[in-house]
Amino acid sequence: MSILAVGSIAFDTIKTPFGEANDIVGGALTHFSVSASFFTDVNLVGVVGDDFGEEQMRVFAGRPIDLAGVERAAGKTFRWGGEYSHNLNNRETLFTELNVFESYRPSLPESHKNPDIVYLGNIHPGLQLEVINQVESRRLVGLDSMNLWIETTPDDLRQVLRHVDVLKLDDSEVRQLSGQYNLRKAAASIGEMGPAMLVATRGAHGSLLFNGQDVFAAPTYPLEVDEVDPTGAGDSFAGGFFGYLAQNPVIDDAVLRRAAVFGNVMGSFCVEDFGTRRLQRLQWDEILERFHKVKELTHFEDLET
């Protein structure tokens, strides 16, 4: 079982009330793949510049992450800078430099054309479509997007959504895409666009999973330590979610619910340090321990009748 994942690999510069990090390796695909690598093999499709050297590549080292589909182009790697306000809920983008991403056209190695799961990370929906069009067979397609594409490239997004089984957005993006405030109605409306399953993430408040009539609410684990940097939490969520799905030959409601919990667990670890630092030193036992803590966190006994 493996995941084919496309998205951005980047240098991130991040300021939070707890400190800052300059030019650390980030990007949605990086966070996704490091997180998913705890669960499954991940084949990356993306692009880096000639400033992305051996040191940067170490972020993927020692993990079941295949870099054969990562192109090295002349020029600089995608760069993003952002600053978080005191409550970490508001993020201001300080700069975005597309660099090598500007002219990037994804090209899949032959070995990557028959994956188990395809994960189309948050990039221009036109590029997502180019990837899915090169895939010859797959079991399930997941997609992430954002307000920018919902606003500026709605037709491209609608086109790629027809191929998608599981859509992952935050709740405000779900409302924006569907035009529905009520999330049940939004899920039904998005189902008509293609994706039968919807995961609405809500930052520190957990996530809601919709699969037809089945609805599941997964809370975020309340951290013992301070939240340091929210960057990549949603991508780490997706890594845990789709990574766990890849482990399971049959995807039913029980598997989807556990996948949402694993997603939240991975997101909760991500925010404990800058970039992928926390996930780099994370152990599988810690993931299992937090999975069980989330079970305790949400358990309540039925009424004695």
**Chain residues that interact with a second copy, rule: CB under 8 A:** 86-88, 172, 175, 181-184, 202, 205-206, 208, 215-220, 222-227, 254, 257-258, 260-261, 288, 291-292, 295, 297-303
Q: How far is the CB of 284 from a second copy (least distance, A)?
A: 12
| Closer residue to a second copy (CB): 102 or 226 | 226
> How many helices and strands, by DSSP H and E, does the chain display?
11, 13
Q: Whole-number minimum distance, CB 278 to a second copy, in Å?
A: 16
Shortest Å distance, C-beta 141 to a second copy:
24
Contact (Cβ atoms closer than 8 angstroms) between residue 6 and residue 120: yes
User: Residue 235 and residue 98: Cα distance in Å, rounded?
Assistant: 19
Closest by CA to 204, choosing from 177, 170, 176, 238, is 170
Cβ of residue 114: shortest distance to a second copy, in angstroms?
28
Nearer to a second copy, 83 or 156 (CB): 83
Of 15, 38, 9, give the one whose Cα is nearest residue 262.
38
- List Cα–Cα distances, 106 to 71, 132, 146, 187, in angstroms: 9, 10, 20, 30
Angle between helices 253-270 and 28-36 (to 10 degrees): 120
Q: Which of residues 76 and 293 has its CB atom nearest to a second copy in the complex?
A: 293
72 versus 257: smaller Cβ distance to a second copy:
257
Tokens of 158: 């609608």
Q: Which is nearer to a second copy, 205 or 281 (by Cβ)? A: 205
Q: How far is the CB of 71 from a second copy (least distance, A)?
A: 38
